[in-house]
Amino acid sequence: MDRIDAMRLFTRVLERGSFVRAAEDLRLPASTATDAVKQLEARLGVRLLQRTTRQVRATLDGEAYYRRCLTILDDIEEAESAFRGARPRGLLRVGVQGAQARRLIVPTLQRFFREYPDMELYLGETDRFVDLVREGVDCVLRTGELKESDLAARRIALLPEVTVASPRYLERFGVPSRWDMLDGHQMIGFRSSAIGGVLPLEFMVDGARKTVTLSSVLTVNGADTYRAAAMEGLGLIQIPRYAAEKNLTEGVFVECLPETPPSSTPVYAIYPRSRQLNLRVRVFIDWVAAEYGRQLAPDD
């Protein structure tokens, strides 16, 4: 293993906290990973890692060497990608919410792989916070406003939202006529891990965001369950329009209060700030931003 590959392996071991996981990421035998780091330590004459039965951590020398490795590896990738004709290659690990993956990403992946035939994608479905470095994820697509963090982010889309209910609900509670006249109505509560509580209904009124919290007999924390409960007539919900389109066309849902829709929800691509944006991540973010823009553009 040459020095550059040894650096890549060392940084992956430290980020993943495991020789086994790092070897899996890089498609190497675990024994090869262990031997390569031992050889690296012998060549440098220092101990880079502290190994226990549960975890692998950097020594002080290892932490310093890790940061130098990141700079060198980023410079190499940047230099190579600067040449005309440089093509991204290799595996990219992306975390994404499942409904978005199924509706907006997977149906168009054939185009992506035709354009970038040397790339592979791993799409991991998740709604929870992801530690990108420790979990070996290259970038995450996250919906909603972001909290302050040491991660870099690029907004790639705005998801139009819609208020809907089932015909069964509207037969029982009536069709709401105004956002501020919802007495007697109920919502299905959606508990957000981002705020640690139930999201209110929101409405854009003359450019201002208004919120309303209604009584609810059911609270959930999953998007599929949220929609399923609304189909059963258990309350009003607010979801991305792309997720409601088919149900609206089929009459499973009815749009409510279209004159005061919820505000659009931003989608961000998030990646570690400590690294330059490598070519694989860059082309994927550019591609997914273009796809979201194309698919979510309003009809003429």
Which residues make Cβ contacts (< 8 Å) with residue 264, sequence separation at least 6?
158, 159, 160, 161
Looking at the structure, tell me whether residues 273 and 149 fall in a common domain. Answer: yes
- Tell which of 34, 53, 82 closes a domain: 82
Helix (H) or strand (E) holding 201: strand 201-205
Looking at the structure, tell me whether residues 271 and 151 fall in a common domain. Answer: yes
Q: How confident is the model at residue 276 (pLDDT cuts 50, 70, 90)?
A: low
Total number of residues shown for the chain: 300
Give the model's pLDDT for residue 176: 96
Looking at the structure, tell me whether residues 103 and 152 fall in a common domain. Answer: yes
Residue type for 272, please?
P
- Cα–Cα distances (Å) from 123 to 98, 105, 106, 280, in that order, read 9, 10, 9, 14
Q: How confident is the model at residue 186 (pLDDT cuts 50, 70, 90)?
A: very high
Indicate the number of domains in the chain. 3
CATH of the domain at 224: 3.40.190.10
Looking at the structure, tell me whether residues 242 and 284 fall in a common domain. Answer: no
Both structure tokens of 290:
């273009």
Give the model's pLDDT for residue 299: 59
Looking at the structure, tell me whether residues 107 and 52 fall in a common domain. Answer: no
Rounded to an integer, the average pLDDT of 236-245 is: 94
Give the tens place of pLDDT for each residue, 279-296. 888 899 999 999 999 988
Give the model's pLDDT for residue 300: 46
Q: How confident is the model at residue 134 (pLDDT cuts 50, 70, 90)?
A: low
CB atoms within 10 A of CB 35: 12
The model scores a pTM over 0.75: no
Looking at the structure, tell me whether residues 185 and 258 fall in a common domain. Answer: yes
- Tell which of 58, 82, 106 closes a domain: 82
End-to-end CA, the chain? 56
Lookup result for tokens 């409960």: 229
DSSP state of 217: S
Lookup result for tokens 């991305």: 240
CA triple 262-128-23, angle to 5 deg: 145
Contact 287, 109 (CB under 8 A): no
- Cα–Cα distances (Å) from 134 to 73, 130, 214, in that order, read 18, 9, 40
User: Which residue from 205, 159, 211 is spatially nearest to 187, judged by alpha carbons?
Assistant: 211
CA distance 50 to 66: 14
